[in-house]
Amino acid sequence: MLKFTALALAISVLSYPVSASTDELAQLKQQLAKLQQQIQKIEDDAKKAKKAAPSKSSGIKVGGAVRTNYSHTSYSDGNKNRGGDFDFDLFRINFSGDIGDVSLNAEIRFFDYMTAVKYAYVGYDFAEHWQVQTGITKVPFGNWPYNSHNYFFSTNYYIGLEDDHDLGVLFKRKLSDNWQLDLGFFKNDELGGIDGYVSDRADRYSYDVVGYRQSRDGIYDNPTHPIGEYNTFAARYGYHIQHSGGTTEIGFSSQFGGLHDGHDRVGDSLAWALHVNSNIGPWNIQLQHGEYDHDIEGFDRMAVGAYAFYDSIAAQATTSSANLAYSMPVKWGAVTGLQFYNDFGIIYDKSDASADTWMNVTGVSVAAGGLFTYFDLVHAKNQPFVGGSIAGDSDDMERRFNINIGYYF
């Protein structure tokens, strides 16, 4: 519009009557020069705005990680005699990005003993504050994204209530006006449920119920009565409070679904939790309390599967956790950040009358370029990967010193 106005003014100057006074012509030329300056300023501002505006990239990026693990334990005489063991942990590949308005996120993990897809979903922003995700996506529950700071997660992870991923659809309301909401429907677990076409239902990243136990069954036996989770509804609400030094989220989560034996519904599965996640300066405080109940009449113990082996949990129990962390930026050569933490979790009031499970992890994580390392000292009773099982009945406290070194690219 301004260019057209300037052009018109220029034409008018050229076509102005010869009889026009010198003052009139000079005035028109001044107006033309002023308009040209305005046009140049607008064009310059537009170029600056275009350069400053973030450009939306299109395409899929590939990343991943390679991790190794050292452990020294109290519950293995061989491990102690050797001075600990250093093992390959995993190699993983991540895909993330978008094509058009549809995003893709996926992660596949390769272990010595199995291959597992952690998540694989497509996402679409269908409204200003809402996104829908479908595929193997994260079940919204508890403190987000993790109810822990250490390599071993919290005790909730081993009963399927932290960092669990299932097949379904998830609607996510992004944080706005201090609150957010996740609503999900999960048809079954990530391996297709009770009749999924897999060779081993324990070859998975996330813990899920895969059977129920009779009194004669061993804690680590393959399930003789296989079942699967199905038609699970999950919801998570979080309200964010701004305060001096940071923010605090107060939230509530719940999920409810069925248990199926391949022919009929045999029971229900319910879980709920209250959670608080507070950031005050460099400090992070996490609190969580809840219950779960896998209700199958006449049975008080369930079989779960993950990491290529089967374990057992009480059909019903109460869980509580309290975590504290302190983050410190540093400049020590390649080291740029440290986080010190102490995470404590307990599972109690179990339906199978087994002893309490508890785990305390004191440690520090170290960020150095592409390297991220956990140094963890774990003390626990009846805790998987620390010499026990959640269905165990031991009075012994076990110890594990663990170093997990990962290179992320």
Residue 120 and residue 248 in one domain: yes
Strand-pair partners of 64: 93
Q: Same structural domain for residues 316 and 187?
A: yes
Output the CA angle 276-279-285, nearest 5 degrees. Answer: 50
Rounded CA-CA distance 2/336 in Å is 52
Please report, in tens digits, the pLDDT of each residue of the chain (409 residues total). 444 444 443 444 444 444 445 666 666 566 656 666 666 666 666 666 555 555 555 799 999 999 999 999 999 999 999 999 999 999 999 999 999 999 999 999 999 999 999 999 999 999 999 999 999 999 999 999 999 999 999 999 999 999 999 999 999 999 999 999 999 999 999 999 999 999 999 999 999 999 999 999 999 999 999 999 999 999 999 999 999 999 999 999 999 999 999 999 999 999 999 999 999 999 999 999 999 999 999 999 999 999 999 999 999 999 999 999 999 999 999 999 999 999 999 999 999 999 999 999 999 999 999 999 999 999 999 999 999 999 999 999 999 999 999 999 9
Give pLDDT, residue 58. 74
Closest by CA position to 397, among listed 69, 71, 73: 73
Q: Domains in the chain: how many in total?
A: 2
pTM of the model: 0.86
- Residue 42: enclosing H or E segment and its boundaries? helix 22-52
The phi, psi pair for 326, rounded to 5°, reads -130, 120
Residues 200 and 242 in one domain: yes
Residues 317, 345 contacting (CB under 8 angstroms): no
Verify that 251 and 338 share a domain, yes or no. Answer: yes
147 touches 139 (CB < 8 A) = no
Domain containing residue 122: 57-408
Domain boundary among 16, 31, 48: 48
- Please give the C-alpha separations between residue 62 and each of 201, 288, 362, 405, in angstroms, as whole numbers: 28, 35, 33, 21
Indicate if 43 and 117 belong to the same structural domain.
no
pLDDT for 42 equals 65
Same domain, 170 and 273: yes
Maximum CA extent, the chain: 116
Structure tokens at 75: 């519950």
Structural contact between residues 246 and 279, judged by C-beta atoms closer than 8 angstroms: yes
Tokens of 144: 């987000």
Whether residues 219 and 319 share a domain: the answer is: yes
Statement to judge: residues 64 and 144 lie in one domain: yes
**Residue 383 and residue 398 in contact, taking contact as beta carbons nearer than 8 Å:** yes
- Check whether residue 43 and residue 78 sit in a common domain: no
Residues 70, 42 within the same domain: no
Number of H helices, E strands in the chain: 3, 19
Looking at the structure, do residues 311 and 200 belong to the same domain, yes or no?
A: yes
Same domain, 143 and 44: no
CA angle (271, 272, 274) in 5-degree steps: 155
